[in-house]
């Protein structure tokens, strides 16, 4: 069962990345004149 910690870390990383990206897109939506679709790739 060596794969369990790896799977756990992958889930943790995916969850943290999801939180960061959703927070970033929300901040971009609040700023007028900057579409999130155009602002995300430049990050």
CA distance linking residue 23 with residue 29, whole number of Å: 10
Q: What is the pLDDT of residue 37?
A: 56
- Largest interatomic CA distance in the chain: 50
Chain centroid to CA 25: 9
- pLDDT digits 0-9 by tens, 1-43: 566 789 999 999 999 999 988 887 777 766 665 555 555 554 4
Q: What is the pLDDT of residue 39?
A: 52
Backbone angles phi, psi at 35, to 5 degrees: -65, 130
Q: What is the pLDDT of residue 43?
A: 47
Q: What is the pLDDT of residue 26?
A: 77
CA-closest candidate to residue 39, choices 23, 19, 17, 24: 24
CA distance linking residue 6 with residue 18, whole number of Å: 18
């Amino acid at each position: 069962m060596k794969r369990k910690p790896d799977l756990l870390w992958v889930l943790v990383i995916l969850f943290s990345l999801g939180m960061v990206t959703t927070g970033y897109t929300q901040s971009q939506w609040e700023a007028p004149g900057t579409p999130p679709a155009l602002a995300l790739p430049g990050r």
